[in-house]
A = this chain, B = another copy of it.
Amino acid sequence: MNGNDSSTTRRRSDATRGAILLAARERFAADGYERATIRAIAKDAGIDPSMVMRYFGNKEGLFASAVTVDLKIPDIGSLPRHEVGRALVAHFLAMWEENEVLTALLRVGATNQAGAERMQGIFRDQLLPVALTVCPDPEQSPARAGLVATQLLGLALTRYVLRIPPAVELSREEIVAWLAPTLQRYLTAPSP
């Protein structure tokens, strides 16, 4: 239980721990919370289901440890203001395609209360601040950030979860070209 030297010493268990987290992310992303069983995750990781409990306490703890999201939104403040929409779509698209955690969170959030709350937290802590620095009137920032969320999450939903064919077949460039003006308007245009 001595974790004081965790940064230098590499315990043998760290490898399995990592394998469990990796398998958990894949399963949550592919199946959602309920159908991602601990037994299936353990089998993917090549260990016994009871190991999962030893390391993460219970299934909720596993989810909490496996699904942590850092959107890594770049410093929008340094961009010319009219480029913000384009930068945001491009960044989200890249994040989403390299990182299955986002799909996992979206799938889980749709049927699981804890997942939905996690998503609300990410919105509040990571997307809202962007709107606060970009929007002309800070009072309107939450509503504008909410609008941005509807478009970005809707893209992710139709493309990566529901897989509606035309949304899947659009190229990255096309998506950026179509959505950038939408986000730009939601963030900076005067209220309609």
Which chain A residues have a beta carbon within 8 Å of chain B's beta carbons?
31-35, 106-107, 109-111, 116, 119-120, 123, 142-143, 145-147, 149-155, 157-159, 161-167, 169-170, 174, 177-179, 181-182, 185-186, 191-192
Asked whether A110 lies within 8 Å of B34 as measured between CB atoms, the reply is no
Asked whether A153 lies within 8 Å of B158 as measured between CB atoms, the reply is yes
Asked whether B170 lies within 8 Å of A146 as measured between CB atoms, the reply is yes
Q: Count identical subunits in the complex.
A: 2
Interface of A is mostly: helix
Chain B residues whose C-beta falls within 8 Å of the C-beta of A163 in the assembled complex: 116, 120
What are 18 pairs between A and B in contact, CB < 8 Å? A32-B32, A34-B35, A35-B111, A109-B161, A110-B111, A119-B162, A143-B174, A147-B167, A147-B178, A149-B166, A150-B157, A152-B154, A153-B154, A153-B162, A154-B158, A177-B191, A181-B192, A182-B185
Instruction: Using known A-B contacts A32-B111, A107-B110, A153-B157, determine if residue A192 contacts B165 with beta carbons closer than 8 Å.
Output: no
Asked whether B162 lies within 8 Å of A143 as measured between CB atoms, the reply is no
Instruction: Using known A-B contacts A154-B154, A182-B182, determine if residue A34 contacts B164 with beta carbons closer than 8 Å.
Output: no
